Structure 1
């Protein structure tokens, strides 16, 4: 039985707390609350070369949309060695990651992951990344942003239906478990990669409602029971996501890889739920047309595979005529073959005791994310209308960006402490 169903709110709240706390005791307590601690073991010989190839290995809803994997863990890592990584250290990291894949099936019901490396990691080498890789240092994207710009060397993104799988994988990587789902641990991150920060969270129908007793959410328990995210709406429609092919690097030594942007946003939902009504929430999340015509029912499952934005006005026209521009509305100009150019795998969080969103996206080049973020900012929409720099400008006024980081996700065969040339030198 997955940890996101079965025993109701108390169990799910406990699982979230255990994952957020981490450690051996949290793992033990989580296993005590789990009906089925055994998970299907992996078959490492059949794994895709793309680390970001998750779409064929997750559940699908009635419309064919990929269902986001509910439990998430981001381990922000720093290299412990001096100079550049050695061949022995690469073998150690390779063994640690291979152990995870042998222990758990590459599936939402097992464990999915991406291992990624930052500009700070590659800066230790004399050589530069190839022209086929666009990986600039992170930066703020608006005058009202003041995020911490992450300089961690690496980021490991783990996802599973089972919170205890994430906790056990973390303990194995730290060298604190000798076996993992019946598999001997053949390598760890110990003495090579240090866990500098843990970021945790969840996504899926009912999970935000179960975890709304936190700062940033009103005391009135306003988050809908069917909502997969704190703001009350579904966002991962098939046609509002780039395909995995679109975000894959096509040439050079990192062909088959991708880039990753990982940011964190604190959510401030008092006005969203206490002052804004349903009309305003739908208008700001999607577009005024949807609000006026009742296009969105509940969390938006009725929309099928698309946000149904074909009747939305251009953002500039909506700003002048409606005094409000929707978040989805602003994204319409940043599309290729009628789909976005980034693939989002974001999730909600209560890290720091406050409602938040870990925005994790994959794209062929970081510039694709920059273009998307600039559209979200809505620069130029503010003026002689009620649309301001943040107010009535999509959902900007309800979130504060606290962190930003950029990473390269190499292909699986080259994910263990790669050189800029992509070789295990």
Structure 2
């Protein structure tokens, strides 16, 4: 692969991914020159009509022919810290809010423009004497199985930037931290420098064809096996509309942070050598969905034929029987056991693949009303009850666990927009 600054030797989409991964002024300039982006409209000066929910993205993103929400293709996670041990003051809040408003004026709020959220960790709220209200289900991040040993993300703030165009997320990141004076024809008058310090950045992508164009990385066999039209490295569709919680279901229902949500971030390393080189297509379908899907050949290609429902709800009650009789239990089949009383999902996934560090990975980003909902879903996916009561092992043939290693995890509160800039634990006080 050539340097993105030169723009030679790689496809346009692969180039865009590489530019996002590198970031900075030179990547932005090269990406702007080469990426075929339309003239992206600026945002309004008056954003009073914007929804209070930061995570209300679905109304401004596309849907496919089956009604599934189509996520933006390019993503950057910017981690920031408040300097020192003190608490932010009103002047700092005003500066951060001005910087965020600047981004909203720079790009229209949609997938072709810019979508973003701002989240705060338990460590951030520990700076204050007051505690978060009980209506906020934020927990410290932790390992959730005996096989996990992730580094825990305790940075104060994370900003999630997303767009269909690489130049947008690169430019927005640069403007946010004070490295640009102008962007998309808009003067950048405010940034977070001096109030927040950049601590880390992570990048990724999702969308048909992007994983296949970016599979020359550690963790993927040299045979380049990722299907050309797959949206994720493991080769199957994800984010089926009926298998996702609604934005309303994941929103905090009461208290000063009503309309906000909690966000869980896990950085996962993928090792797909066996997945593609040794496992059969039938075994991959059984492991990702459920044995019945494999036996009845329900999944064509990447699974687009499934429409807006993976169909694993019908398999959820068969977890123990499948584990005993087939010796395999499906990932989605296990997850489908974590549902509300009305049989609706409790978690909204917005994850994306990554080549950070030159390795195939997944940034598993989920939204839920309380982190407890994520823990419940993760426990269902882990399937210790399956391992303890059947011949299926803790990892072997127990969904897709053997192909994934959680290396980092962090939990964050996404406040509603009126409290998104350096909030106190009790903004109603």
SS in structure 2 opposite 1:156? strand
Q: Is the 8 A contact 1:77 1:197 kept in 2?
A: yes
Render the CA deviation track for 1:253-299: whole Å, top value 9, x for unaligned. Answer: 10010000001000000000000010000000000000001100011
- Which residue pairs with 1:4 in the alignment? none
- The more displaced of 241-250 and 35-44 is 35-44
| Equivalent in 56, 59, 63 of residue 60 of structure 1 | 63
- The 5-angstrom pairing of residues 24-423 of structure 1 reads 24-36=25-37, 38-43=39-44, 44-312=47-315, 313-336=317-340, 337-383=342-388, 385-423=390-428
Instruction: Rate the CA distance shift 1:386–1:218 in 2: closer, same or farther, 3 A.
Output: farther
- Which residue pairs with 2:5 in the alignment? none
1:12 aligns with 2:20: no
Shift of 1:212: 0.2
- The more displaced of 97-106 and 393-402 is 97-106
Q: Is the 8 A contact 1:9 1:210 kept in 2?
A: no
Measure, in 1, the Cα distance between the counterparts of 2:37 and 2:312: 42
Shift of 1:36: 3.4
Dislocated runs of 4+, deviation >6 Å: none
Q: Is the 8 A contact 1:390 1:396 kept in 2?
A: yes
TM-score by length of 2: 0.95
Ranges in structure 1 where 5+ consecutive residues have no aligned partner: 1-6
Measure, in 1, the Cα distance between the counterparts of 2:207 and 2:85: 42
Q: Is the 8 A contact 1:287 1:327 kept in 2?
A: yes
SS in structure 1 opposite 2:198? strand
Measure, in 1, the Cα distance between the counterparts of 2:22 and 2:243: 33
Q: Is the 8 A contact 2:81 2:198 kept in 1?
A: yes
Measure, in 2, the Cα distance between the counterparts of 1:46 and 1:71: 26
Render the CA deviation track for 1:137-179: whole Å, top value 9, x for unaligned. Answer: 0000100001001110011011000110011111111211112
SS in structure 2 opposite 1:405? strand
Give the number of equivalent residue pairs. Answer: 418
Shift of 1:81: 4.8
Shift of 1:68: 1.5
Render the CA deviation track for 1:66-85: whole Å, top value 9, x for unaligned. Answer: 01211000011111254100
Q: Is the 8 A contact 1:117 1:153 kept in 2?
A: yes
Measure, in 2, the Cα distance between the counterparts of 1:68 and 1:173: 22
SS in structure 2 opposite 1:381? helix
Measure, in 2, the Cα distance between the counterparts of 1:309 and 1:134: 28
